[in-house]
Structure 1
């Protein structure tokens, strides 16, 4: 006996199937899905119900081709392990979903990688715009990229390219002045490799220290991760002339510095005050309690999403330059320096402060 033939793969439901089901033309079905005028609310509802009943899945890429204008939003994230990028992503997703735009995500292979190769994959996916959080590429390369596909920079400013960013120099100045106000004089700055467009925090630190008549000390980690920070900080903290405070480029580096301190038997803030940057979720954890500069990552994401949608609607509009003001959130990781730990050569710190 010959067994019955197995059923083959089910044919995808098409707009023609929906048109036959409802008794309308395929063009009217297409108009209904696109939200175009000329379709009554009753007919549109009947079409959508039939589509759901039949199991229709709209091909968004084909819809873009029919409109002759890509509507998908490409999103590039520098480091998915860093929680500030998760907040930025959430804000962008809210904006894109409200407008029913597809969101296509790509992530950098490392926290210190240039982003052009990753962005190229978004271009190959025919996105209409790229939101970049955050490209480490030189300004000239980003401007060249923006000639191929519109770009919205997040947490970085590039002249003549849409940019949504926080005032990094102002945030860094608030952080360093907070430590100076507590009485610290040996304040180090922990950062990652230098990249064009990402030096505002370091430059502000150096300026404020110079204004206070104090020598700056910049320590550069291999990248912007906790592991790199811990590796870079341990030799410094093991020395006899260690700093009493550290201002880190981001919260990830600050937490790495904290781990290095505790591994050497030092405590925060008694032996070392720490200030991070981003005000990410990790800074608010019990036991971490990190003083940090809040750049309002969720709001940056929402604003970047809105700017991207506006750019899709009006490709020829002038470049957007949207700067927000950060603020310092003081928590338990900063305190006045221990009198014995903060003596400059030949001087008593308590007398200096008197």
Structure 2
């Protein structure tokens, strides 16, 4: 991931101003033994900032150009100091922008040119050469450290983005599962009650009226739960309370079946456990209504110290099951996925003449 080039003109301007100001001071301080500044000197000083401006597109050529302008400035006899800025900045940029091989190669060429100039002018001092090597190496080490810091920062940002995407994906999966459970239960209930109402509307109007009232309640419920799930897609929308075990009585009442609800040691549980338990009971009642109409259903919740045990058992169909072939086939796998997501298990299968679903959901220590 590379940085945007919007800063390059400002960096070129900073380098230009710094070189001009330092050139004035260095020329004044070195008057008498270095050449005064003239038009050619200012032209050479302008090469470096132009190379900085074009560096992103032509990294190697601009670095060579800045180094050549620096050498020409020194060979012409102008003051030491100002033209060192451009090559240093470009070497630094090569490292930071990930062109490390090119950067270290150009650093070696820079050392050779500077030490070669010193020796050709009679400055054959090993201390002076060591100072040049130290300065260039220090520049490269600092650039490498900055590069490492930038790469680690970018890696943290990428990790955070990936984690955000993963959480968003899990949230979408959860919403899809919630919508499936809500729709599967309530639409099946509406279908059953509508069939009952149509069958009894002439012979038993009161029972038909009860079925229609159940349809009204179920449709209102499904609309409310769908709105609660879909609200999370709107930015800043508050998350509505999700279904919990405190609503089991309402769920049983609306099911239109003969259901016995038993609770052993009931107590508040973590929201994720309550939501999963509610959906498992809901899906089990939906399956019982679809595949075993007329059956007696027993729902038992055992609140243990380390786990919540859910058993939903029916006695078997007493009449034909008109909806048995209309399911999606995702009911039991969906319940099993909910249990597994919490580290629990779910077993479903025949039990005598009927069917039983048994789920075991582990409870966190703090809830015990």
Give me the TM-score of the superposition, normalised by structure 1.
0.23
When Rg is computed on C-alpha atoms for both structures, the one with the higher figure is: 2
Give me the TM-score of the superposition, normalised by structure 2.
0.22
Higher helix share: 2
